[in-house]
Amino acid sequence: MKYFFPFMMVLVILSGLSLIVTPYIGEYIFPASKTTLRAADPEQAKQALADWFNTSPASLSDVQAIKQVSAQVNNSWFTFKADAPPVKNFILQNRLKQQDLTPETLQKVFMAQTPAIPWWQPAALERQTCFIGTDEGQEIGLIYHAELRTGFIVIRTRTKPAKF
């Protein structure tokens, strides 16, 4: 009985230290901030855009896409060439709001967290407006130039933290 209370005190102190160190060890083994970046297959990207625009894949050309996945948010960037009617239907279907394309909007919506990819140049379209909206938890930004038949789309999906 003489060593019982000192043993309990050491046990409580070591338990507290282990609780302090556990999150750091867990982050080292299972990093929550891990980010992966991958280019999409052009045919799969074309099919995805065709599904969104409710048109045939043949009506789209020069489709390029890249996706960035992290624990907090998934970002997807697309560029494409298409006629105006499917793009207009997409805007109406997703209830995107037309907004002025200010330098702040361009930076915040279209250039934030953008990886260094040479084809992502939405400012090159020299548009005055863009279309922005939220659909089923996804933030959508679209810039489209009808005369050039060229568009840029960025889609951000915030991932929900797992509940224990």
- What was the pLDDT predicted at 32? 63
Radius of gyration in angstroms for the set of CA atoms belonging to the chain, rounded to a whole number? 24
- What was the pLDDT predicted at 164? 45
Q: Give 138's strand partners.
A: 135, 157
Q: Sign of the CA dihedral 69, 75, 79, 84?
A: positive
| pLDDT < 70 stretches in the chain | 30-35, 37, 159-164
- What was the pLDDT predicted at 137? 76
Place of tokens 């797992």: 162
DSSP 73-117: EEEEEEEEEE-HHHHHHHHHHTTPEEEE--HHHIIIIIITT----
Q: Which candidate, 109, 147, 112, places its Cα nearest to that of 127?
A: 147
Tens digits of per-residue pLDDT, 54-101?
888 888 888 888 888 777 778 888 999 999 899 998 898 889 898 988
Distance in Å from the first CA to the final CA of the chain: 40
- What was the pLDDT predicted at 160? 64
- What was the pLDDT predicted at 30? 67
- What was the pLDDT predicted at 35? 64
CB 60 within 8 A of CB 82: yes
Taking the whole predicted model, whether its pTM rises above 0.85 is answered as no
